[in-house]
Structure 1
């Protein structure tokens, strides 16, 4: 679970930084309106996603390995349960 929280917090941090940069840069090019605010949010989501693909690949790989290991443990426990029921 630690890898999940680390990756999630890193994604939020990347988004927050990108959002702040785009938020402060937007008035240079556009007037601040509701539509511009929505576009700032969407642009920040897209840019932070692209950055996360490359910058957080190590954390994502660690998270995938943890999820895979957990699935393997659950599968082995389930298989042991089935074997124990078949012994009766």
Structure 2
């Protein structure tokens, strides 16, 4: 679960940081900030940024999930073979 929370918090932090930058720039340029557009732009930019910047954390999370899925599949196969033996 550590990998999940690390990736999630970094992704959230990246979104908040991007939101603050977009909001600040838009405010400096126009003075009137449409918050919905700032959210949309920040969401897109942080999504693209997280693809490149958070690759290591995403890979660690994926490896953890894959390992847990493999263990669950092994347990399922063990139960299945135990039922077949009975």
User: How big is the shift at 1:25?
Assistant: 1.4
Deviations 1:55-74 (A, max 9, x none): 10000011111111011000
Q: Number of residue pairs matched?
A: 86
**RMSD over equivalenced CA pairs, Å:** 1.1
The Cα shift of 1:86 comes to: 1.1
Of the candidates 70, 79, 82, which is equivalent to residue 80 of structure 2?
Answer: 82
What residue is the counterpart of 1:73 in the other structure? 71
Runs of 4+ in 1 over 6 A off after TM superposition: none
> How far apart, CA to CA, are the structure 1 residues paired with 2:80 and 2:5?
33
Tell me, which stretches of 5 or more residues in structure 1 are unaligned? none
Separation in 2, partners of 1:14, 1:75: 35
CA distance in 2 between counterparts of 1:73 and 1:30 reads 55
For 2:32 and 2:73, the matched residues in 1 are separated by: 53
Q: TM-score, normalised by structure 1?
A: 0.91
> What's the counterpart of residue 21 of structure 1?
21
